Amino acid sequence: MSFGRSIIPEPLARQPWGVLLPLTALALFGATVLYSAAGGSLRPWAAMHFLRFLAFLAMAMMLARVRRDRFKQVAYPLYGGLMVLLVLVEAIGRIGGGSQRWLNLGFITLQPSELMKPAIVLVLARFYDALPPAVTGSWRALVPALALMALPAALVIIQPDLGTALAICFGAIVVIFLAGIPLRWFIGAGLAAGIAAPIAFFALLH
């Protein structure tokens, strides 16, 4: 063990500083831009920007310490719970800004669609982790994944919130691509989406 590592606490030394330092530099740059835009004042934007970054950085560092099998255990329950919340949004959700996106839980106002963005990545990673490699090129690797993506995306679109629905689909498609699904399927799906998107936009959002 080197002298440098011997004086640094092990939990601190294990952090991915190659990622954290550039992220921190980017957040500082953003805070500097906001500071300048506010006429040389930390309020109202720069201070809150950096405080949010620190809060999410702390959360990320805590999540990085969670064992991988824990994420596997919570993937499907988390997805199922958020699906229930998305259905509740349609039934009893609060309307604001022309859309019905929020649940008022008394102590907090929750937007389940935002939580679905990381949840869809987690549940699809769990799905492909359990899938035998031999079926990666078959419909068994694609149809269930598309169903997992389409259910929350459809509920979010009818809120209506097309931007968040597209973000959910994008996260899902990235995982599906990284799982090794044949490229020709993506080309076909892209053509179908290009045809369906204008129809969905005008039919569901107008």
Asked whether residue 18 falls in the same domain as residue 52, the answer is: yes
Question: Closest Cα to residue 177, out of 110, 125, 106?
Answer: 125
Q: Which residues pair with 102 in a beta bridge?
A: 94
Q: Say what the pLDDT of residue 150 is.
A: 92
Asked whether residue 134 falls in the same domain as residue 89, the answer is: yes
Asked whether residue 32 falls in the same domain as residue 102, the answer is: no
What is the percent of the chain where pLDDT is above 90?
Answer: 19
Asked whether residue 50 falls in the same domain as residue 94, the answer is: no
Q: Residue 127 — pLDDT band, cuts 50, 70, 90? A: very high
Q: Would the pLDDT of 140 be above 70?
A: yes
Q: Would the pLDDT of 6 be above 60?
A: no
Tell which of 14, 39, 64 closes a domain: 64
Grouping H, G, I as helix, E, B as strand and the rest as coil, residue 102 is strand
Region 103-130: what's the mean pLDDT?
A: 86
Cβ atoms within 10 Å of 20's Cβ, excluding its own: 14
Tell which of 48, 64, 80 closes a domain: 64
Q: Would the pLDDT of 120 be above 90?
A: yes
- More confident site: 87 or 65: 87
The mean pLDDT of the chain is 81
Q: Which domain holds residue 179?
A: 72-204
Region 139-166: what's the mean pLDDT?
A: 88
Q: How far apart are the first and last CA of the chain?
A: 64
Q: Residue 3 — pLDDT band, cuts 50, 70, 90? A: very low
Q: Say what the pLDDT of residue 84 is.
A: 93
Asked whether residue 53 falls in the same domain as residue 110, the answer is: no
User: pTM for the full model?
Assistant: 0.68
Asked whether residue 136 falls in the same domain as residue 98, the answer is: yes
Asked whether residue 20 falls in the same domain as residue 98, the answer is: no
Asked whether residue 31 falls in the same domain as residue 116, the answer is: no
Q: Say what the pLDDT of residue 1 is.
A: 47
- As for how many domains the chain has, the answer is 2
Tell which of 64, 88, 116 closes a domain: 64
Angle between helices 183-204 and 162-178 (to 10 degrees): 170
Asked whether residue 50 falls in the same domain as residue 89, the answer is: no
Asked whether residue 190 falls in the same domain as residue 140, the answer is: yes
Asked whether residue 156 falls in the same domain as residue 189, the answer is: yes
Asked whether residue 100 falls in the same domain as residue 18, the answer is: no
Q: Would the pLDDT of 204 be above 60?
A: no
Q: What is the pLDDT of residues 167-194, one digit of tens each?
A: 999 999 999 988 888 877 777 777 777 7
Q: Would the pLDDT of 98 be above 70?
A: no
